[in-house]
Amino acid sequence: MVKAELNRVAVRVKDTKQAVKDFESLFGMTFYGPYEDEHMGLCVALPKKGGVELMSPMHDHDAIGAYQALQEKGEGVSGIALRVSDFEEAKAHFKAMGLEPMVEFNHGDFKEMIFPPQPATHGLEIAVNEFPDANGAAIQCALDMGVDWKDVCDWKDAD
């Protein structure tokens, strides 16, 4: 059996830049980005603190169907991300359970596969990822998308 822990909640929004301002003002959350992830077709803001990822589609054919979901359902929780200790073991486990990821990618040591909403996930999009440290998902993606390493170190030193 695969054991996973909640890493972050993904929220689908119309405008990531505005959502960052709103979440910072409302909740005091801080983010890396937003960044345009051309591979996924998403504008993404990743959590420095707060465990919330904000994303909006860059066009009508993004990798996870966020554009279509935004049209049909509007803004709201898109899915959750779960951290596992062994990505390949988790992938084999889910395959044995009949689940195939709709997309899989890496950012450095960060690996992620995303499963679409379906009956087995109770209608929730599930991202499963592996990374070496507590906030590695956000940090590695942010570094890949252009954040200055000094900003990451300053944040980590503040704790």
Angstrom CA distances, 16 to 22, 24, 32, 43, 130, stand at 10, 12, 12, 6, 25
Q: What are phi and psi for residue 53, nearest 5 degrees?
A: -105, 135
CB 111 within 8 Å of CB 134 = no
Q: What are phi and psi for residue 81, nearest 5 degrees?
A: -115, 130
Grouping H, G, I as helix, E, B as strand and the rest as coil, residue 109 is: coil
Predicted local confidence at residue 152, as pLDDT: 45
> How sure is the predictor about 131, in pLDDT bands with cuts at 50, 70 and 90?
confident
pLDDT digits (tens, 9 = 90+) for 138-159: 665 666 556 565 554 444 444 4
pLDDT digits (tens, 9 = 90+) for 95-126: 999 999 998 988 777 788 999 988 998 888 99
